[in-house]
Amino acid sequence: MSRLADTLREAGQARRALLMAYLCAGDPSPVQSAQALVAAAEAGADILEIGWPFSDPVADGPVIQAASQRALPHTGRAEVLEVVRQVRAGSQAPIALLGYCNPILRHGLQETVRDLASAGVDALVVADLAFEETAPWREACQAQGMSVVPFIAPTTQGPRLEAIAAAADSFVYAVALLGVTGQRLEQSASILPVVARLRQHTAAPVLAGFGIGDGEQAALWRQRGLDGVIVGSALVQAMVEGGAQAVGAKVRAIRSGLDNLG
């Protein structure tokens, strides 16, 4: 996890907003998705989030669901690991693997985490894993030098929020709205009171995700006091429209929005 820890620390010291860029492994092919992820890092993404395609991605909106459907026929566990290895060969940016419980547990938690770490993954983001069930996942990941990234949502409160804060060993994923992934015109502020309470219990950076798709929206979250943003659907759509080059251009635009708030 040293790559991730170093990136988070350096961004904090420089007061630089973090940008995590998501693309689905295997969309439209393993090689092309790896190339686009490397392009995202070169364009200014601090952390790369690689999606493990799944048949029932309940947290995702239509854009990312479609990416999974395109990838599934030719992208399984072996191909996901190969995408990670290809990205790691082309970039030293930290990698977070976004997945769902079923594909990971199908091959065994310990074995899968070990293989992900060996390929170059620094953190695990599991969309359908309840926080109360994360203990064995955190134990398996910590043994391999990986982090399990916890979520907070506008509904998170009380002792649960404090427990999430205590478990945060890298950063916290703030789900900015109630619903599924996908760019929105309106940026809800309902997560902000939860973030304020979380910060009373942890110094871990907090990144906002869900609904963010351009530089202006990213800048808004930075102005609201978040440490960075997570962008997925807008990059998946850019990949559909123009491949790695379009992904790089989109990342540069979002990076510019974060870096030039004035």
198-244 residue pLDDT tens: 999 999 999 999 889 999 999 999 999 999 999 999 999 999 999 99
Q: pLDDT for 3-43, tens place per residue? A: 999 999 999 999 999 999 999 999 999 999 999 999 999 99
Respond yes or no on whether the N-terminal peptide bond of residue 94 is cis (omega within 30° of 0). Answer: no
Residue 224 CB coordination number (10 Å): 14
6, 46, 56, 60: the catalytic one is 60
Enumerate residues 6+ apart whose C-beta is below 8 A from 187. Answer: 176, 211, 212, 217, 220, 221
What's the whole-model pTM score?
0.95
Q: pLDDT for 161-175, tens place per residue? A: 999 999 999 999 999
Say whether 6 is catalytic.
Answer: no
Say whether 162 is catalytic.
Answer: no
27, 49, 79, 169: the catalytic one is 49
Any idea which architecture 2-256 has in CATH? Alpha-Beta Barrel (3.20)
As beta bridge partners, residue 49 has 22, 96
